Amino acid sequence: MGVTANGDGADDGGGNGAGAEPGHPVVWLFDEYARPHWKQLVGGLSFSTVEQIPARLPPVLVGVAIDAVLLNTGPFRLPLVPDAWLPTEMADQLTVLIALLVGSFAAVALVNYFGRRVLGRFGQSFQHEIRTEVFDTVQRLEMGYFDDHDTGEVMSVLNDDVQEVQTLVFGVLARGSTMTMTAVATYAYMLWLNWQLAVVLAVVPFALFALSYWFSNWIEPKHMAVRERVGDLNSRLNNNVDGVSVIKTFGTERAERERVRDASGDLRTAQWDAHWAQATMDPVSRTVSQLARVITLLVGGIWVLTGPPLFFTGTLTPGALFTFYVFVGSLLTAMQGIAEVVDGYQNGKAAATRLRDIVANDSVAERRDAAELADPEGAVAYDDVTFSYPGRDEPTLDGVTFDVEPGDTVGIVGSTGAGKSTILKLLLRFYDPDSGAVRVDGTDVRDVTVESLRESIGYVSQDPFLFYGAVRENIAYADPDADEETVVEAAKLAGAHEFVAELPDGYDTQVGERGVKLSGGQRQRVSIARAIVRDPAILVLDEATSHVDNETEVLIQRTLDELAADRTTFLVAHRLSTVRDADRIIVVDDGEVVERGTHEDLLARDGLYANLWNVQVGDVTALPDSFLRRVRRGDTA
Ligand SMILES: Nc1ncnc2c1ncn2[C@@H]1O[C@H](COP(=O)(O)OP(=O)(O)OP(=O)(O)O)[C@@H](O)[C@H]1O
C-alpha cells in the first residue's frame, strides 16, 4: 500500500467554507464567490449608477424649453454650463435643447446596455460559482446531515436560495445603487432649481421611506410563513410522488388527498394574509406619494400665479414647476425603491445564511493534511470502535475489534438491527467512530482523503440505487470510460449478463427512475457489477444478494470466489449460506462482536451462530430455550 502526502490539501475545492467565518452572511457570500469576478461587479454597478445622471436631464431640458423658449419668461440657462457658451437666438436654443435631449436619451441607452451586459454576466457567473460550489459541498456532507434533513429541504437551498442570489445582485446591489443615485441626482437637481421647495418637500419621501421600511418589517414574518407553508406542501407532494406505490397498495389516495388539501389550505391562508397586508399597504403608500404631487402642484401653482406663498421667497417659473413636479415623482419612486431594496436584502440575507449553514456544515471534516490512500492491499482493522448515531443514547457499536488480512473474505452476521451495516458504514466514513479507530492498511481512515478511501472500496448496499439511464451507464458509473468488454465482464461476474442480454435493448435498456423497470434482484446484480467495474481492493456486499433467488445466488456465489480471490471482501447476510465459505465469520449482537471463526468453528461453539444456522436448516429441535425466548422478543434475525 502507499499513503502519499496530499500537498495541496484535499480540502481546497474553491469556495469551500469548511471553516466559514461567522461574520455577515452576505459579506461572506460575496467574499467567498464574487472575488474572481469583482471587476465585472464594479464595472456593472458603475454603469448603472452613472446612467442616472443623463436619465435626470430630460425634465430639466423640457422645463428650460417651457420657460426660455415657449413662454419666453426667463433666461436660457443650463446646469453646469457657463451662460457664455449658450446661444442667444431662440431657434438655436431650441436646437441645442433637442440635441441635448437626444444626446441624453442616447447616453442612457448606451450606458444602460453596457451596465446590463456587464452586471448580467457577473450575476450569472456569481450564481454559477455558488451553485457548483454549494452542490460540491452537499456531495461531501457526511451521511448524518442527510439523516436529519429531507431531500426537499436540501433541494430548496440548491434551487431557491441559489436563485435568490440573483435578487441580491440585481434587486439589491444594482437597484440599491441605482435608486440611491436617482434620489441623490434628483434631489441635487431639485435643490439647484428651487432649494426652498426642495427642502420642504424632502419630508414626504422620507416619510414614505419610513413607512415602507416599517411595512417591510411588518410583512416579513408573513412572507416567511408563506415560504414555510410552500416547503411543507412541497415535502408532502415529494413524499407522495416518491411513495406512490405504497399509496396505491394501501389504497390511501383519499387520505393523501386530504393531507395535500390541508397543506394547500394552510398555504392559502398564509398567502392571503400576506396578500391582504400588501393590498392594504399599496393604497396607503400610493396616497402619500400622490399627496406629495398635489402639494407640489398646489404650492407651485400659487407661487407661479401670485408670487411666493407662506414663508417662501423668490420666483418660480412654470418650466421649473414642471421639472419639479416630474422630479418629485422620481424621488418618491426612488425612496420606495430603496425600501424595497431593504426588503430584498432581508430575503437575500436569509438565503445567504442558509447557503453558509450548508457550506459550514461541511461535516466530512477531511483533515487539511489528509493523505492519498494509493493502491491499498486491503488490510482492515477495527480497533475498539464505539459509535452512537446522533441523538441516540445507547451506543450502536460497542468495543468492536477485529482484523482482516488483505484478500480475506469476512462474513458479518447477526440479528436485525445488531449493527452490521453500521460497522461497514464506518469503514466508508459515512460516519466517524466516537472512540477507537478503523484502519485500512494500518492507517486510520480519518487520516486519508475521503475520495481515495472510497475509490478503494466497492460498496453494494441492501437497497441499491440505480440512476435514470441505460444499464450500461449504470454499470460503468464509477468509470464512464470503461469499454464494452469491461462492462460485460463485470456483468458476468455479478450474474447479470444473462438477464441484461434478454432485455429489449440489452445493455442500452433504460432502467427508469431509480431502476424501477428492473426487479429487486436485477437491480442488486447491476449494482454488484457497478462495484466490480471499479476493481476495488475492498469489496463490501451488504445484503447484496438478499433479493435474488437461491439459484441465482448459487451462480453469484461461484463468481464471488473469483471476485473475492484477490480482494478483501465483506459479506453481510441473513442467509447464512452466503457467508458459509468465508475465511472468517463475525457474529454481531447488539452492537458487540460476540463470536468469530469459520463456519465449522462457530457450529462447534454451539452459540448464537449455531442457533441461527439451525433455524435456517430447519433443525428447530436443536434450538435452546434461551434462543427461542429471544426470537419471541423479536430481536433475532
Ligand atoms: N441513520 C441512522 N440514524 C439513527 N439510527 C440508525 C441509523 N441507521 C441505523 N440506525 C440504528 O442503528 C442500529 C443498527 O442498524 P444497522 O443498520 O447497522 O443494523 P443491521 O445489523 O445492519 O440490521 P439489518 O440486518 O436489519 O440490516 C439499529 O438500531 C438502527 O435503528
Smallest CA-to-CA distance from 86 within 94, 95, 98, 77 is with: 77
**CB atoms near residue 314 (< 10 Å):** 11
Q: What does the pLDDT read at residue 41?
A: 87
Identify each DSSP E strand in 228-357 by its residue range: none
- Of 632 and 156, which is predicted with more confidence? 156
Tens digit of each residue's pLDDT (9 = 90 or more) over 344-373: 787 788 788 888 888 877 565 667 778 888
Q: Which of 36-40, 206-210, 237-241 has the lowest mean pLDDT?
A: 206-210
Quote the longest CA-to-CA distance of the chain: 122
Nine-digit cell string for 394: 445507547
Check: CB of residue 373 under 8 Å from CB of residue 3: yes
Percent of the chain scoring above 70 in pLDDT: 91
Q: How far is the CA of 525 from the centre of ligand 1 (A)?
A: 23
**Ligand 1, atom 28: nearest CA belongs to which residue?**
417
Task: Note whether residue 303 is domain-resident.
Answer: yes
Task: Note whether residue 14 is domain-resident.
Answer: no
Instruction: Using a cut of 0.80, tell me whether the model's pTM lies above it.
Output: no
Averaged pLDDT, 544-556: 70
- Work out which ligand 1 atom sits closest to the CA atom of 418: 21
Q: What does the pLDDT read at residue 151?
A: 74
Q: If you average pLDDT over every residue of the chain, what do you get?
A: 82
Percent of the chain scoring above 90 in pLDDT: 16
| Single-letter amino acid code for the residue at 451 | E
Q: How far is the CA of 239 from the centre of ligand 1 (A)?
A: 22
CATH number, position 531: 3.40.50.300
| CA distance between the termini of the chain | 37
Task: Note whether residue 216 is domain-resident.
Answer: yes
Residue of 416, 422, 430, 540 with the most ligand 1 atoms within 8 Å of its CB, for mutation: 422
Q: Are residues 584 and 441 in the same domain?
A: yes
Compute φ and ψ for 149, nearest 5 degrees: -125, 130
Smallest CA-to-CA distance from 575 within 598, 604, 606, 543 is with: 543
- Work out which ligand 1 atom sits closest to the CA atom of 147: 1
Cell 410552500, residue located: 230
Q: Are residues 218 and 305 in the same domain?
A: yes
Domain of 354 in residue numbering reads as: 25-360
Interface confidence (ipTM) of the complex: 0.96
Q: Are residues 219 and 258 in the same domain?
A: yes
Task: Note whether residue 559 is domain-resident.
Answer: no
Q: Are residues 439 and 322 in the same domain?
A: no
Q: Are residues 181 and 143 in the same domain?
A: yes
Q: How far is the CA of 417 from the centre of ligand 1 (A)?
A: 5
How distant, in Å, are the alpha carbons of 78, 102, 163, 257, 440 from that of 260?
65, 58, 26, 5, 49
Smallest CA-to-CA distance from 129 within 233, 39, 30, 212 is with: 30
Smallest CA-to-CA distance from 15 within 107, 127, 120 is with: 127
Nine-digit cell string for 89: 437666438
Q: Are residues 122 and 145 in the same domain?
A: yes
Domain end residue (candidates: 360, 390, 424): 360
Nine-digit cell string for 626: 434461551
- Of 187 and 77, which is predicted with more confidence? 187
- Side-chain-side CA neighbours of residue 581 (13 Å): 10
Task: Note whether residue 60 is domain-resident.
Answer: yes
Look at residue 312 and tell me whether its pLDDT is greater than 60: yes
Q: How far is the CA of 421 from the centre of ligand 1 (A)?
A: 7
Nine-digit cell string for 205: 419621501
Q: Which residues touch 338 (CB under 8 Å, ≥6 apart)?
A: 176, 179, 180, 183, 209
Averaged pLDDT, 196-222: 79
Size (the chain), residues = 637
Q: How far is the CA of 591 from the centre of ligand 1 (A)?
A: 10
Q: Are residues 530 and 545 in the same domain?
A: no
Q: What does the pLDDT read at residue 555?
A: 67
Q: Which of 23-37, 92-106, 327-341, 481-495 has the lowest mean pLDDT?
A: 327-341
- Of 41 and 335, which is predicted with more confidence? 41
Averaged pLDDT, 584-592: 92
Residue of 146, 396, 400, 636 with the most ligand 1 atoms within 8 Å of its CB, for mutation: 396
Q: What does the pLDDT read at residue 629?
A: 67
Q: What does the pLDDT read at residue 631?
A: 62
Residue 627's pLDDT band (cuts 50, 70, 90): low
Averaged pLDDT, 77-86: 74
Q: Are residues 204 and 108 in the same domain?
A: yes
Check: CB of residue 445 under 8 Å from CB of residue 424: no
**Ligand 1, atom 1: nearest CA belongs to which residue?**
147
Does the CB atom of residue 147 touch ligand 1 within 6 A? yes
Averaged pLDDT, 313-330: 85
Q: Are residues 246 and 339 in the same domain?
A: yes
Does the CB atom of residue 586 touch ligand 1 within 6 A? no
Q: How far is the CA of 176 from the centre of ligand 1 (A)?
A: 52
Q: Are residues 159 and 81 in the same domain?
A: yes
Does the CB atom of residue 421 touch ligand 1 within 6 A? yes
CATH number, position 75: 1.20.1560.10
Residue 19's pLDDT band (cuts 50, 70, 90): very low
Check: CB of residue 322 under 8 Å from CB of residue 301: no
Give the integer Cα–Cα distance in Å for 337 and 12.
40
Task: Note whether residue 8 is domain-resident.
Answer: no
Q: Are residues 354 and 435 in the same domain?
A: no
Task: Note whether residue 560 is domain-resident.
Answer: no
- Total domains in the chain come to 3
Does the CB atom of residue 425 touch ligand 1 within 6 A? no
Q: Are residues 501 and 597 in the same domain?
A: no
Task: Note whether residue 253 is domain-resident.
Answer: yes
